[in-house]
Amino acid sequence: MSLPTKKTIHVSRRRFLSTSALAATGLGLAGTGLFGMPAFARSDRPVITHGLQSGDVTTDRAIVWARADRPSRLLLEYATSDSFRNAQTVRGPAAIAASDFTTKVDLTGLPAGQDIFYRIRYRDLSNVNAVSEPMVGHFRTAPADRRDITFVWTGDTAGQGWGINTDWGGMKGYETMRRNTPDFMIHSGDTIYADNPIPAEKKLPDGGVWKNVITEEKSKVAETLKEFRGNFRYNLLDANVRAFNAEVPVFAQWDDHETVNNWYPNEVLNDDRYQVRSVATLAARANRAFHEYFPTRQHASDRERIYRKINYGPLLDVFFLDMRSYRGDNGANRQPLAGPDTAFLGADQIRWLKQELLASKATWKVIASDMPIGLIVYDNWREKNTFENGANGNGPVLGREHEFADLLRFIKHNKIKNTAWFTADVHYTAAHYYDPNKATFSDFDPFWEFVSGPINAGSFGPGDMDDTFGPQVVYQKSPEGKPNLPPTEGLQFFGHVRINGETEVMTVTLKDIENKSLYTVDLDPVPVA
C-alpha cells in the first residue's frame, strides 16, 4: 500500500475531524454515509444501526466493529487517506441474529504509526443487490519508532439513572474527549449499568428535570442476553459517543455494573428486582454482550477472557486487568494468610501479568485497573465492614492485599521500572502516590495511581484511604460527601496522558467535562539498566 506524505495525512485528518464534529451534534451529511443517526425504520436495504468502532490497536493490527439491522455481509475497505485511493478490501463476517447482528474484523498487516481510514457497508444476505449506505471511521496505528503518544481514560457511563439527555447535549464528556484527538481511549469499566434502569425523568438538585432517552431494555435491570445487549446499544444511541467511536479507538475492560453492583462469581442475589438470582448466569450473559458490543480482540482459547496486553510501540505497553471474574467472595477481607478465598485477580491472571511485565521492552508499563488499590471501596457502605476491592483498612497485609503485596514485591525485585496505574470506578478524580516510606508494607518501589470518572453518571466521594501500601492523596476533586450529583453539576472527569517521543516523559492531566485541566504531573522515566 502506498503511503501519503506527512502533509497529506495532516490535511486528511483535519477534514475528517471537521466532518465528525457535525456528526457529534447529529448533523452528519445526508447521503454521504458519514456517521449519521441510528436508524430505526426498516428500509429496503441494510442499515448500519449504531455507528462504527475500532479497538485493541497495535503497530500492525486493529479490530473494527459495526452492527447491521438484518442478516447481511460486512464489506470493508481501508486506506491511508480519506480519499480511499489504493484502498484494500476485506470480505467480513456475516451479521446474524446469533451475534445480535454485530460484526468484528481483525485487520492485520497495517503500516505502523499511520492514520487508517475505513469504510463499511453491509450486503443483504437474501438480496445481494441490496447494499447499505457506507459509513467511514478512523484510527491511528501504534508507532514503531519513538514518537509522541496520547491517550485518554475514564469510566462509568450512564449510571445511577443519568442517561442520554438530548436537551443537555447528550453525553458531552465524549465530545470533550474527542476534541483532545487522542490516539486511543481506555474505558476503565462500568461501560454500562446493567443494574441501573433509566427512567424517563429525574429531578435535579435545583428543582429542574433531567429528561432521558428511554428504551425497553433500559426500563428494568438486565437479566436476559437481550437485555444486556440492549444496555450496550443504549449508550450507542448517543451522537457524541458514536462520533467519538468513529475517530478514536476504544480499549475496553469491565468492572461490576456490566453485570450487577459489587458482584463476585459465587454470589446469589437477594434482590427482588431479579428473577435470575445466579450471578454466574448473569455474568456469562454480560460477558457475551460485552465482547459483542466492544471491539475487543478475544483470546483464541478463552473467548470470555478480558485481561490482555496491548503493545503500543516501544514507549508503551498497556496491561488490562479483570478484577471481577476470578475473585473470591466479598467479605471482611481480613484473612492473615493468602488462599483461594483471598483471590482477587486470581493465580492464573497474576502469573500472566508477572510474565508479561518481565517480557515488556516498552519504556512505560501502564496497568489499566478496573478498581483502585489503596482507596477503600466498601461492599456495604452503610456498615463499612465488608469490602469490594483489595483495600480493607489501615494495618498489615490481610485478605486480598496479599496478591497486591506479592505483585508489588515482584515488580521491585525484578527491577521492572516505570509502571503506572490508571483506573476509575469511584466516580471522582484523584492522583495517588504510593510511598513505601509511609506504608505498613514497604517492600515495593514507589508508583503513581490515577483515578478519573465518571463520564456520564452520578458523582460520589471522596473515599477513605488504606495505609497498607502508603497511598498519598496528591490531588482529588469530588462532590465532598454529596452523593449522586448529576452530570449538570460538572463533576464529570477524564484523564489525558502524553508520552513525549524524545524525552519519554509521561505527562498526566486530570480534566473535567469542560476540558479544564485540574491537575498535571510530569513523570520522568527511570533508566533501565
CB crowding 81-91: b at 16 or more within 10 Å, else e: bbebeebeeee
**Quick one: 187 and 93 in the same domain?**
no
pLDDT of residue 37: 42
Between vectors from CA 289 to CA 128 and to CA 484, what angle results, nearest 5°? 130
Q: Which amino acid, one-letter code, is at 212?
A: N
**Quick one: 213 and 327 in the same domain?**
yes
Is the whole model's pTM more than 0.95, yes or no?
no
**Quick one: 162 and 136 in the same domain?**
no
Alpha-carbon torsion (320, 298, 155, 290), positive or negative: negative
The residues facing 209 across adjacent strands are 203
CB crowding 423-442: b at 16 or more within 10 Å, else e: bbbbbbbbbbbbebeebbbe
Tell me the per-residue pLDDT of 416-445, one tens digit each, with 9 for 90 and over: 999 999 999 999 999 999 999 999 999 999
Asked, for residue 475, whether it belongs to a domain, the answer is yes
**Quick one: 125 and 161 in the same domain?**
no
pLDDT of residue 42: 66
Q: How many domains does the chain have?
A: 2
Residue 225, C-alpha cell as written in the block = 442476553
Domain span holding position 135: 6-140
Asked, for residue 529, whether it belongs to a domain, the answer is no
Asked, for residue 38, whether it belongs to a domain, the answer is yes
Instruction: Please give the helix or strand (H or E) that residue 306 lies within, else none.
Output: none
Asked, for residue 528, whether it belongs to a domain, the answer is no
The residues facing 423 across adjacent strands are 451
Q: Which of 40, 66, 38 is nearest to 237 (CA)?
A: 38
pLDDT of residue 32: 30
Asked which of 93, 114, 140 is the last residue of a domain, the reply is 140
**Quick one: 124 and 213 in the same domain?**
no
- Under DSSP, the state recorded for 27 is -
**Quick one: 239 and 319 in the same domain?**
yes
The residues facing 12 across adjacent strands are none
Q: What Å distances lie between residue 355 and 351, 372, 520, CA to CA?
A: 6, 22, 32
- Domain CATH code at residue 91: 2.60.40.380
Instruction: Please give the helix or strand (H or E) that residue 119 lies within, else none.
Output: strand 115-124
- Domain CATH code at residue 380: 3.60.21.70
Asked, for residue 146, whether it belongs to a domain, the answer is no
**Quick one: 136 and 156 in the same domain?**
no
Residue 28, C-alpha cell as written in the block = 452528519
Instruction: Please give the helix or strand (H or E) that residue 234 lies within, else none.
Output: helix 225-235
pLDDT of residue 13: 54
Residues with pLDDT less than 50, the chain: 1-11, 14, 17-37, 39
The shares of helix, strand and coil residues in the chain, as percent rounded to the nearest 5, are 20, 25, 55
**Quick one: 117 and 246 in the same domain?**
no
**Quick one: 203 and 332 in the same domain?**
yes
**Quick one: 361 and 242 in the same domain?**
yes
pLDDT of residue 527: 87
Instruction: Describe the crossing of helices 347-359 and 401-413 by its angle, rounded to 10 degrees.
Output: 20
pLDDT of residue 528: 76
Asked, for residue 477, whether it belongs to a domain, the answer is yes
**Quick one: 47 and 156 in the same domain?**
no
Asked which of 140, 161, 184 is the last residue of a domain, the reply is 140
**Quick one: 12 and 82 in the same domain?**
yes
Per the CB < 8 A criterion, the answer to whether 346 and 383 are in contact is no
Asked which of 93, 108, 140 is the last residue of a domain, the reply is 140
